Structure 1
């Protein structure tokens, strides 16, 4: 190929003189890419013709450029040559490092035209857009549930397989995701990185922190379409909706009672077990239900105060 600048657009390609030629080099396939140098044109041609000249001697995977091969080989060697000068975290490629650095700079260059939210990566924006379109392209072949991303689907599948690949090296407890393990590890370390801006409370999990902030702000984003009542959590709304439907899907296996929520069933089952986990800190008496303890405490407090009054009067 002549050492000239070549530009390929919409079925034609041209050299640096601007003379346009139909069809392009032999083996060229239609593309909307514009390639402005012989090196880029060669790479583009390889991509279109299937010619891949750089093979990995570890796994056999092939690449169109030596640079792509070198980046790939770092996976096998464990080498991460690109380090963040802010936190020291290392990455396989310069492009991955660049995306990571946006965490420190706060840069979010990809904006949603629907709602104005901004994101660090184009991939995050693409996934976010599905919230507006309702698209959930990844279906579970076990239960039919649909997900926004393939990663979410893979995590969900562990519900069916029982797989928990992330284990705590301190207590052996296993988790479905690395994120759940990281939150759990904070129980051992005592680290609570999420602080409330309204009070002094701190949290080890971002989800708990976000819910707590909504409590301060009075946010109740989940509304019942039957009666208009609003709830802080989606789970609370679902539990409430059983009232309207009269549905009680949680039956007790010891008696004929049934309940709208699993939490109500668990509380009820304490009656059968004889367990009394709620103890009075004044007199030590125990109760099966928190309501019973609450009523008792009012009486106990009055009796305690009466005892103090009698003691004072007798002095």
Structure 2
């Protein structure tokens, strides 16, 4: 050990300088021998991770160089001797401790800092510690004979030796990374943690504690990192930049998900089917298709949904809130995506192109519905009959019309109820008189865009709906649907007053007027009324003298299309109405009806006496 003493010397004469210098060298040699002894002791104890010992070379002052004898002869102060004895005891206790894992650096610190009484000396000691520490690090590279070192050395420990710690507690915490030890257990669940701080954060999940408050809004968070991320909502900061495009994100996790768009990677696979997903949350939502889980319950009715977004849309039915307003017209919507779709009506934009034909659509749902015409796929099956549909909404409407009779859509202006929302919307135009969709070819207006589209085909002559049984085509799909019943013979609309059935609902509705006597179509020129609008239209030609149906074979014209059709048989010689009792045929159904009385003997016209 070194002696801490200060000796005042008088200026020596030149004759003694050589002798004094020689004695100083002898002291230096003795000190070096003592240093080697301490270093040897360190090599003998490689398992010590941190020995609080610092071997420091003390600089010899000029006065001490000149007076080595006085330096040796002067006795040590009693308090220094006592402290050295205490230090020696502490060293012995450290050597007797159980073996600890080898750290990244073997550091020897040999002097306990004399903090209270020797502040100046502590600074002096610390200025030389680094020299000896570096020297010891190079000297303590353990040889092949060291069994203790071999257990923890190798390629894996090359990385460990890179890390250093200021205290043994930090090193101990770090070593849990390598050992996998998790000694801090949650009392509320079965989770364990390697550090008490992590357990403390986890406990807030159970307690609901959120100590980190946002200064910009009323949100709170259980972790400071979550608050830090949230603050970017207010600052607009997006520090995570995509290297493939110019998009930036406020969270690293969002960037990671976005990068799958560029790489095409879909790491999350469904265990029930062969679908893959870019995001675990999307997979979680998809799994509800298989499990049937619908965790989101409407608080106003008993409807449940598998998606929170769908529930939110549904609730607007109860609240009536429509916060998204169209800037081109007076329509409002409950969802922003609905507004976006609607705006395509004004812009004319149709970004969704059919790959089978040249048709485009304003929304993906329109394209999906259209593609079913090409594929013929009808995945929605009625459980009451053998009908299938390409859309779930069509199946629902079918259930209401044919099986349940449910009419959930009520007009707020009158007491009429409807099976389909589209029917209600069409009806409401009767009350409002609004017809915002104007035909550019004529002066007609319509309350619905679909009706306008169908009408425009009158001008263009387009008939995109083709019958697969014959060569007929139609402007609208409903007409094709009705026509197909001529081939199938299906008549699903049954009269409740008689045994007649009809292939479409409008024919049943017209027929019912025979039983009720209702004639809602009134002629404005006379007092006649009709049960059909077509009959009224034909009758008006009596007043106007108009005969719009011209024969292409002669100069005759007719007020009704059926009269023209009957007349054309004169030119063609066709007699389509065949008597089932004989071989006679007729050009008109009325002529056949009259002829049949010959076979039946019917005489409906009675002769009255006196007339």
TM-score, normalisation: structure 1: 0.68
Distance 1:35 1:75 in 2: 33
Match of 2:36 in 1: none
Contact 1:29 1:48 in 2 (8 A): no
Instruction: Determine which of 58, 65, 72 is the counterpart of 2:188.
Output: 58
Instruction: Determine which of 342, 350, 360 is the counterpart of 1:220.
Output: 350
- Give the Å deviation of 1:94: 0.5
Q: Equivalent residues in 2 for 1:78-227 (5 A)?
A: 78-182=208-312, 184=314, 192=322, 194=324, 202-212=332-342, 218-227=348-357
Distance 1:63 1:82 in 2: 22
Contact 1:248 1:259 in 2 (8 A): yes
Q: Indicate the larger mover: 58-67 or 266-275.
A: 266-275
User: How has the CA–CA distance of structure 1 residues 126 and 85 changed in structure 2, closer, same or farther, with 3 Å as cutoff?
Assistant: same
Once the two structures are superposed, residues 208-235 of structure 1 have per-residue CA deviations (whole angstroms, 9 ceiling, x without a partner) of: 3443455555543332222243223322
User: How has the CA–CA distance of structure 1 residues 138 and 240 changed in structure 2, closer, same or farther, with 3 Å as cutoff?
Assistant: same
Contact 1:3 1:38 in 2 (8 A): no
Task: Tell me the matched-pair count.
Answer: 293
Match of 2:35 in 1: none
Distance 1:69 1:31 in 2: 27
Distance 1:221 1:141 in 2: 34
Residue 26, structure 1, aligned to residue 152, structure 2:
yes
Once the two structures are superposed, residues 99-146 of structure 1 have per-residue CA deviations (whole angstroms, 9 ceiling, x without a partner) of: 122222222222222232222211111112222222222222223332
Contact 2:239 2:249 in 1 (8 A): yes
Contact 1:249 1:258 in 2 (8 A): yes
Once the two structures are superposed, residues 244-291 of structure 1 have per-residue CA deviations (whole angstroms, 9 ceiling, x without a partner) of: 234444566777765443444555566635969699989x79898859
- Stretches of structure 1 lacking an aligned partner (at least 5 in a row): 5-12, 308-315
Match of 1:73 in 2: 203
User: How has the CA–CA distance of structure 1 residues 42 and 233 changed in structure 2, closer, same or farther, with 3 Å as cutoff?
Assistant: farther
- Give the Å deviation of 1:237: 1.7
User: How has the CA–CA distance of structure 1 residues 218 and 83 changed in structure 2, closer, same or farther, with 3 Å as cutoff?
Assistant: farther
SS of corresponding position for 2:217 = coil
Q: Indicate the larger mover: 87-96 or 41-50.
A: 41-50
User: How has the CA–CA distance of structure 1 residues 78 and 106 changed in structure 2, closer, same or farther, with 3 Å as cutoff?
Assistant: same
- Give the Å deviation of 1:170: 4.4
RMSD: 4.8
User: How has the CA–CA distance of structure 1 residues 247 and 160 changed in structure 2, closer, same or farther, with 3 Å as cutoff?
Assistant: closer
Contact 1:35 1:44 in 2 (8 A): no
User: How has the CA–CA distance of structure 1 residues 276 and 176 changed in structure 2, closer, same or farther, with 3 Å as cutoff?
Assistant: closer
Match of 1:240 in 2: 370
Distance 1:45 1:66 in 2: 14
Distance 2:150 2:348 in 1: 64
- Stretches of structure 2 lacking an aligned partner (at least 5 in a row): 1-48, 53-103, 107-129, 143-148, 431-443, 445-519, 525-611
User: How has the CA–CA distance of structure 1 residues 254 and 89 changed in structure 2, closer, same or farther, with 3 Å as cutoff?
Assistant: closer
- Give the Å deviation of 1:81: 0.6
Distance 1:186 1:159 in 2: 24
Higher relative contact order (CA 8 A, sep 6+): 1
Q: Indicate the larger mover: 226-235 or 255-264.
A: 255-264
Distance 1:193 1:37 in 2: 58
Distance 2:418 2:180 in 1: 75
Match of 2:179 in 1: 49
Contact 1:35 1:41 in 2 (8 A): no
- Give the Å deviation of 1:95: 0.4
TM-score, normalisation: structure 2: 0.39
Distance 2:394 2:347 in 1: 28
**Structure with greater helix share of residues:** 2
Distance 2:158 2:357 in 1: 58
Distance 1:14 1:212 in 2: 69
Please identify the structure whose Cα radius of gyration is greater.
2
Distance 1:199 1:264 in 2: 28
User: How has the CA–CA distance of structure 1 residues 227 and 186 changed in structure 2, closer, same or farther, with 3 Å as cutoff?
Assistant: closer
Q: Equivalent residues in 2 for 1:234-273 (5 A)?
A: 234-250=364-380, 259-267=389-397, 272=402
User: How has the CA–CA distance of structure 1 residues 175 and 287 changed in structure 2, closer, same or farther, with 3 Å as cutoff?
Assistant: closer
- Give the Å deviation of 1:86: 1.7
Match of 1:311 in 2: none
Instruction: Determine which of 206, 220, 229 is the counterpart of 2:359.
Output: 229
Distance 2:195 2:213 in 1: 23
